[in-house]
């Protein structure tokens, strides 16, 4: 702030006796008498206590609205009652003059600045410029800046070159909806904001830039989640082998936990991850595993298990109550859309509770199959293989996080999930679709594409997971136009379709492109994990809300007819009922 000699977090005991000028926000005043009061002045760097000792200055300070920007000139002195919790807690400033530089025109704020995180989220986002004055909120943005700076330094130290790719590009089928931008000079045509710099980074590889990275903005029109912000997010583009060297020091330096996995990280094939953890984003802090119970339970006489795949999660020495079990089962159904079932083995070795009455005739077989001991709790899922696995994964996570003894919370557990299927049957379309990334290299190349069941083909794809959150997604890229065309043919797109949708990449690959690989860590998710936040919006300076609205700027917004005519667009609004 202009005009100051020091900031509000800078003065120390050695400054006692100096005449200083501070500029900051008027946080509050504690009035002791008509000629004694204590003012807290706050700026970006901290707070300083101002001690008012004259009636005239008390009147001036009392007339100032909270959060006004003021300039205070005075003398630094040692505090008689020090505050060791503050960096400036050894000193105070006795003012000679006070001047309002920016008046807050409102008597009442939408929320108390230092308690803004307790306010409604939409209110916080509408007044984000006030929310960011909260030191706790501000610190996450500062943390993000430092992490990004360190990531850049680490990548450069590994001989990677930072290159910026275009923001306006063409629409291509990459998994999510595009944000489209009408082209004024080309009526009826549109640019798209990039969902990821996928094609550009492969084109750079084809050009010989084999060690490239980028802090890349990515734009996807998709619904928000706690770990995903609608609209825009950022990825660090680099190569797989470097991450185990780059990321652990970042987490160690800035993370709220002081323990993290060391390289090499555990590598888990996709199908093993689904079978053992019920998720392709396993949280390895949880000690529980998923077991297959189909053979032991499918024909036990319990109708929901008949002819289904049955999965079990066994929690040893379980102390939960019936009320807690019922709550957990209800949450499983909300999250997965599938029911959870349960029983337990009591202290006498008997199966009790839940569906135990259906298991009595097979008691010994069930105990042997699941390796049960007295005090064990068993939660179960049933359905198709995929549904049973995913529901068991939800069960594992909820039991691990809701009950004591099954989770090592204060650490970062990294792992790689590898060998993803190349294809899957789409849940909505019922047709064969790419499972992960259409530009990945299939394991086995053309021969696999021509001779194997598509659902059995694996891809050279990998995800980096930390504490159950996908941090990065990457692959060995397809650099061979013949393999590329064949891979797309299996999902119903011929060579001409590939040329039309990905012309630059197809043509580049026809000029001797080298083999290449890459990965894209999500910077926002990484910072969220390091900061210990549950919502990604806490570490983004100006995030959208859950409905993809910027309530501070009023976006999206209507534009006038002249602007629409310039880009050759006419709005056809649905008739009001």
Instruction: Read off the pLDDT of each residue in 47-75 and give the average, rounded to a whole number.
Output: 97
What pLDDT digit, counting tens, does each position of 157-196 carry?
Answer: 999 899 998 999 888 766 678 899 999 999 999 999 988 7
Give pLDDT, residue 236. 46
Give pLDDT, residue 543. 92
DSSP strand pairing (341-345 vs 290-292): unpaired
**Sorting pLDDT into bands at 50, 70 and 90, what band is 235?**
very low
What pLDDT digit, counting tens, does each position of 239-295 carry?
Answer: 566 888 888 889 989 999 988 888 889 999 999 999 999 999 999 999 999 999 999
Calculate the CA 298 to chain-centre distance.
Answer: 38
Which residue from 546, 552, 544 is spatially nearest to 126, judged by alpha carbons?
552
CA pair distance 515, 207, nearest whole angstrom:
12
**Sorting pLDDT into bands at 50, 70 and 90, what band is 197?**
confident
**Sorting pLDDT into bands at 50, 70 and 90, what band is 428?**
confident
Instruction: Read off the pLDDT of each residue in 514-541 and give the average, rounded to a whole number.
Output: 89
CA pair distance 519, 95, nearest whole angstrom:
56
User: What is each CA distance from 347 to 343, 344, 368, 404, in whole angstroms?
Assistant: 13, 10, 17, 19
What does the DSSP assignment read for 214-233?
EEEEEEEB---BTTB-SEEE
CA pair distance 116, 517, nearest whole angstrom:
44
Q: Enter the tokens of residue 252.
A: 């160690």
What pLDDT digit, counting tens, does each position of 313-341 carry?
Answer: 999 999 999 999 999 999 999 999 999 99
CA pair distance 140, 542, nearest whole angstrom:
12
Give pLDDT, residue 174. 62
* Residue 136 burial class via C-beta count within 10 angstroms: exposed 0-12, middle 13-18, buried 19 and up: exposed
- What is the pLDDT of the chain when averaged over all its residues? 91
CA pair distance 572, 56, nearest whole angstrom:
64
For 33, residues 6+ apart whose C-beta sits below 8 A from its C-beta are: none
314: phi then psi, degrees, rounded to nearest 5: -100, 125
Give pLDDT, residue 228. 54
What pLDDT digit, counting tens, does each position of 10-57 carry?
Answer: 999 999 999 999 999 999 999 999 999 999 999 999 999 999 999 999
Alpha helices in 415-560 (DSSP H): 445-451, 481-489, 495-501, 503-509, 523-531
- Do 248 and 261 touch, CB atoms closer than 8 A? yes
What pLDDT digit, counting tens, does each position of 340-372 carry?
Answer: 999 999 999 999 999 999 999 999 999 999 999
> Rg of the chain's alpha carbons, rounded to an integer?
30
* Residue 7 burial class via C-beta count within 10 angstroms: exposed 0-12, middle 13-18, buried 19 and up: middle
What are the helix and strand counts (H, E) for the chain?
17, 22
* Residue 170 burial class via C-beta count within 10 angstroms: exposed 0-12, middle 13-18, buried 19 and up: middle
């Amino acid at each position: 702030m202009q005009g100051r000699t020091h900031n509000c977090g800078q003065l120390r005991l050695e400054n006692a006796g100096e005449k200083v000028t501070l500029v900051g926000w008027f946080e509050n005043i504690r009035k002791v008498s008509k000629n004694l009061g204590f003012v807290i002045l706050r700026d970006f760097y901290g707070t300083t206590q101002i001690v008012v000792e004259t009636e005239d200055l008390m009147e001036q300070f009392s007339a100032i609205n909270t959060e006004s920007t003021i300039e205070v000139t005075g003398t630094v002195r040692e505090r008689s009652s020090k505050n060791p919790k503050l960096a400036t807690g050894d000193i105070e400033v006795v003012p000679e003059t006070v001047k309002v530089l920016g008046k807050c025109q409102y008597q009442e704020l939408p929320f108390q600045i230092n308690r803004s995180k307790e306010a409604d989220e939409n209110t916080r986002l509408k007044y984000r410029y006030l929310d960011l004055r909260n030191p706790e909120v501000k610190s996450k943005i500062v943390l993000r800046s430092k992490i990004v700076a360190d990531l850049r330094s680490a990548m450069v130290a590994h001989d990677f070159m930072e290159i910026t790719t275009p923001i306006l590009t063409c629409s291509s089928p990459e998994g999510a909806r595009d944000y489209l931008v009408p082209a004024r000079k080309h009526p009826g045509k549109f640019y798209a904001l990039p969902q990821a710099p996928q094609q550009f980074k492969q084109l750079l590889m084809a050009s010989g830039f084999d060690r490239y990275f980028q802090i890349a903005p990515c734009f996807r029109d998709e619904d928000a989640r706690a770990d995903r912000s609608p609209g825009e997010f950022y990825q660090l583009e680099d190569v797989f082998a470097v991450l185990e060297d780059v990321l652990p020091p970042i987490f160690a330096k800035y993370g709220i936990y002081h323990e993290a996995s060391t390289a090499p990280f555990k590598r888990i094939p996709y199908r093993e991850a689904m079978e053992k953890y019920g998720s392709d984003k396993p949280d390895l802090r949880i000690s529980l595993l998923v077991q297959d119970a189909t053979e032991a339970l499918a024909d036990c006489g319990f109708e929901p298990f008949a002819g289904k795949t049955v999965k079990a999660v066994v929690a040893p020495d379980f102390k939960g109550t019936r009320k807690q079990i019922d709550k957990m089962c209800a949450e499983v159904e909300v999250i997965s859309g599938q029911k959870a079932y349960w029983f337990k083995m009591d202290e006498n070795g008997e199966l009790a509770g839940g569906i135990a009455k259906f298991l009595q005739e097979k008691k010994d077989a069930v105990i042997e199959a699941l390796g049960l001991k007295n005090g064990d709790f068993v939660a179960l899922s049933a359905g198709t293989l995929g549904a049973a696995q995913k529901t068991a994964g939800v069960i594992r996570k909820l039991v691990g996080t809701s009950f004591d003894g099954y989770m090592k919370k204060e650490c970062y557990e990294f792992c790689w999930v590898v060998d993803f299927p190349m294809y899957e049957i789409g849940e909505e379309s019922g047709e064969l679709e790419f499972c992960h990334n259409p530009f990945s290299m299939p394991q086995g190349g053309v021969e696999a594409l021509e001779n194997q069941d598509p659902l059995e083909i694996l891809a050279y794809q990998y995800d980096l997971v930390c504490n159950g959150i996908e941090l990065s997604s990457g692959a060995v890229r397809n650099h061979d136009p013949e393999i590329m065309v064949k891979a797309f043919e299996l999902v119903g797109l011929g060579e001409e379709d590939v040329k039309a949708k990905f012309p630059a990449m197809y043509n580049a690959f026809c000029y001797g492109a080298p083999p290449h690989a890459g990965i894209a860590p999500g910077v926002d998710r990484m910072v969220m994990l390091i900061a210990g936040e549950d919502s990604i919006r806490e570490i983004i300076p100006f995030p959208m809300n859950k409905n993809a609205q910027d309530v501070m700027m009023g976006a999206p917004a209507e534009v006038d007819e002249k602007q629409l005519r310039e880009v050759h667009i006419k709005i056809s609004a649905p008739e009001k009922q």
